[in-house]
Amino acid sequence: MRPRAAVVAVNGVLAGLAAVTLFPLLWMLSVSFMPAGAASALPPPLVPAEPTLVHYRELFLNAGMLRWLANSLLLALAITAVSLAFNTLAGYAFAKLKFRGRERLFNVLIGALIIPGQVAMMPLFLLLREMGLVNSYGGVVVPAMASVFGIFLVRQYARTLPDELLEAARVDGASEWRIFVSVVVPLLKPVLASLAVFTFLAAWNDFMWPLIVLTDHELQTLPVALATLSREHVQDNELMMAGSVITVVPVLVLFLALQKYYIEGLLLGSVKG
């Protein structure tokens, strides 16, 4: 193939693929601004003839979207904050603090990664019910307060920190807690940013567990509420697209803003330990 033809072919295919990945998202945005019923026409309209915010108004004023948005935000933030703290402490200890049985314990945790979450779901539901956490925010947050993946990610990164730095602080008489707060955490910032974005997005997008544990309409997260809405409003095309926009846009914007950290975390997490 001549170079110029090859350039056109490679970029043409990439552009075509990008169009396929972006089209559904752009179409969602466009339809969400169409008046009710306008999208059910032939040929399917691509842009709204008369843009309207009526569906957003309906969702926020009558359907309770604001509450679900707040729930999603609150739960994702709480999970991110707590699990970041717990995973960082543990990941650092597994990387840099020597203790008996460290490697064996870590291997047990890594081994547990292969167990799919649903094996735990039924007993976890019963446990949380005993604790009075079913149908409460706690039912979503508490089981997510630490994760093997998070510990693994922090450990991977913390292992690259120079031991001399920690030893020097110890010689100076700093306590382990002091060293962690003023030496280790600042150095871990890049991986903490990655883990924070990862955790937030996963918590926001999570569906099955919140669906199980939150039965009260008022307490539900956006994905759960959207799934319920979509079963009730099968015909309300445009309304559902507005609901999808509200659910997807926050995470898309967050990803675009912090893409670098997200991709770095993804790669760090996928390297074999």
User: Measured from the CB of residue 185, what is the shortest distance to other proteins in angstroms?
Assistant: 12
Alpha carbons 57 and 228: distance in angstroms, whole number: 19
User: Measured from the CB of residue 226, what is the shortest distance to other proteins in angstroms?
Assistant: 5
Q: For other proteins, which is the closer residue by CB, 80 or 87?
A: 87
Show Cβ contacts of residue 25 under 8 Å, excluding neighbours closer than 6 positions: 248, 252
Residue 219 contacts residue 212 (beta carbons within 8 Å) = no
Q: For other proteins, which is the closer residue by CB, 23 or 189?
A: 23
Q: Where are the alpha helices (DSSP H) in the chain?
A: 3-32, 54-58, 65-96, 102-112, 118-130, 137-141, 148-158, 163-171, 176-179, 185-205, 208-213, 222-232, 237-257, 259-270
User: Measured from the CB of residue 112, what is the shortest distance to other proteins in angstroms?
Assistant: 6
User: Measured from the CB of residue 6, what is the shortest distance to other proteins in angstroms?
Assistant: 6
Q: For other proteins, which is the closer residue by CB, 53 or 131?
A: 131
User: Measured from the CB of residue 70, what is the shortest distance to other proteins in angstroms?
Assistant: 16
- Residue 95, amino acid: A
User: Measured from the CB of residue 184, what is the shortest distance to other proteins in angstroms?
Assistant: 10
Among 224, 220, 221, 243, CA closest to 233: 243
User: Measured from the CB of residue 8, what is the shortest distance to other proteins in angstroms?
Assistant: 9
Q: Residue 62 half-sphere exposure, CB side, CA atoms within 13 Å?
A: 7
Q: For other proteins, which is the closer residue by CB, 3 or 162?
A: 3
Burial class (CB in 10 A: 0-12, 13-18, 19+), 138: middle
Residue 163 contacts residue 96 (beta carbons within 8 Å) = yes
Residue 233 contacts residue 169 (beta carbons within 8 Å) = no
